[in-house]
Amino acid sequence: MSSPTSPLEYISPWVVSQRWFASKGRVPRLESIGSWEIPSDGPRIVTHLIMDFSARVPVLYQVPVTERAEPLDGAENALIAEVATENGTTYLYDGPHDPAYATALLRMISASTEATAHGATAHGQVFGAIEFSEILSSSVLRGEQSNTSIIYSVVTDSGIDSVICKVFRALHHGENPDVVLQAALAASGSPNVPQSIGAVVGEWNDIGRANGRALGHLAFAQEFLAGSEDAWRFALRSAEEMDDFTERAYSLGTVTAEVHTLLAGSLGTTVPSRDEIDSTLASWRSRLLLAIDEVPAIDEFRDTIEALYASTASLDWPPLQRIHGDYHLGQVLLASDGHWVLLDFEGEPMRPMEERSRFDFALRDVAGMLRSFDYVAGSLGSTEDAQSWTRASRNAFLSGYIERSGNDLRTHRELLDAFEMDKALYEAVYEARNRPDWLPIPLAALGRLARRQR
């Protein structure tokens, strides 16, 4: 079998139709900037790094492709293209759906091996939490995701276990906070993140960098908590049935505080300088302007929001530290034994990666979760019952957080309100762009928060 001479030509139309392709609505300008290959006895396994130059800041995508001489049974939906070559037809498949790629990727991590470089390098790194002797099966996690996750069934000393490997689709220079933070928490013994198994790290050309090369995480493997349920779905059901969620919300508050304490302990804290506080105020204001620009109705709250932001400038601000960064119920699992497990420490997808790795205020996470409880009521039509469920859950979450952190956030209510306002503005932009039907949820929150300031 021979490989297609210009794979980009075949891969591009498929790339732009994927959920993780961010530049929808623009005419893409795709270029291959390199690839790497996992040696294989089966189909050729090539991971292409494809840059889209159409956005103001170009976006780099990771596109693993297997090249097969025969069609792969059951993988019709993952077929990228059929290419006529001099030796017959080559079938190109989306790697994560092909067991050949899935197995080779996890083996590369567990054996810490190096891929063959074609302008881009990649090597596996094992962290060692779970050792397995055999990979029994693999399948792609269904659902709308910004990355692609592969679930494996593996044989370990204690029996059959499940593993998840997240293949990052959009690549960035620098360490991925999802890997760094979860690995640090797992290493410090936290039961509230999955065990970390290992990662793939790569290097590629980047004309925007002084030395012309970028380095970052390409994939991350963890323990997969089979039988767990997403906290968002669990909370929605609980609110619909008017179940009391306060005990669970309280324990989520304590777990959140514990995770913040562990992150502070393992990765440090700093006292914010005047410049750092001013730069947070500046980022709030620029988000406010962006939100008004995209959702003009927000202008009505502008003066109140600006006054709230200004009033926080003279407050005593807490220390800076590493945080989750995009904390909401959809990022938390209720494990089958009833304990909370936090996921996806990648930060807000609309922020540059370099910003997402900076120290930040833990209050941002607290505000994120408060907003998420509000979304539960909002998505249920904000009925009296749903609102009272939300009020009780928000209070219980805060009480749990305060109790475990020893930090009485209610005494600095303006600061927490300002972070909540900032999150609701982020959400207004997110909803206007992605789910306009849900825009009223953050808008109503902005109205409520604004009324509280008057």
Q: Which entry of ligand LMANGFYV, ligand ADP, none binds 225, CB below 5 to 8 A by partner kind?
A: ligand ADP
3-state secondary structure of 85: strand
Under rule CB under 6 A, residue 194 binds ligand ADP: yes
Q: Which entry of ligand LMANGFYV, ligand ADP, none binds 147, CB below 5 to 8 A by partner kind?
A: ligand ADP
Please state, in angstroms and rounded to a whole number, the distance separating the CA atoms of residues 373 and 376. 5
Number of neighbouring beta carbons within 10 Å of residue 213 = 14
Q: Answer for the pair 198, 164: CB distance below 8 angstroms, yes or no.
A: no
Under rule CB under 6 A, residue 372 binds ligand ADP: no
Alpha helices in 268-345 (DSSP H): 274-294, 302-312
Under rule CB under 6 A, residue 330 binds ligand LMANGFYV: yes
Strands 30-38 and 44-52 come out as: antiparallel
User: Binding to ligand ADP (CB under 6 A): which residues in 310-369?
Assistant: 330, 333, 343-344, 346
**Residue in 54, 58, 61 with CA at minimum distance from that of residue 25:** 54
Under rule CB under 6 A, residue 146 binds ligand LMANGFYV: yes
Helices (H) and strands (E) in the chain, counts: 12, 18
Site string for ligand LMANGFYV, 1-40 (x = CB under 6 A): ----------------------------------------
Site string for ligand LMANGFYV, 425-444 (x = CB under 6 A): --x--x--------------
Helix (H) / strand (E) element for 165: namely strand 159-167
Q: DSSP assignment of 385-419, as one string?
A: HHHHHHHHHHHHHHHHHHHHH---GGGGHHHHHHH
Under rule CB under 6 A, residue 352 binds ligand LMANGFYV: no
Strands 332-334 and 229-230 come out as: antiparallel
Under rule CB under 6 A, residue 141 binds ligand ADP: yes
Task: Give the one residue of 329, 367, 377, 443 binding ligand LMANGFYV; rule: CB under 6 A.
Answer: 329
Contacting positions for ligand ADP (CB under 6 A): 141, 145-147, 149, 164, 194, 222-225, 228, 230, 330, 333, 343-344, 346
Contacting positions for ligand LMANGFYV (CB under 6 A): 146, 232, 326, 328-330, 344, 348-349, 371-372, 375, 427, 430
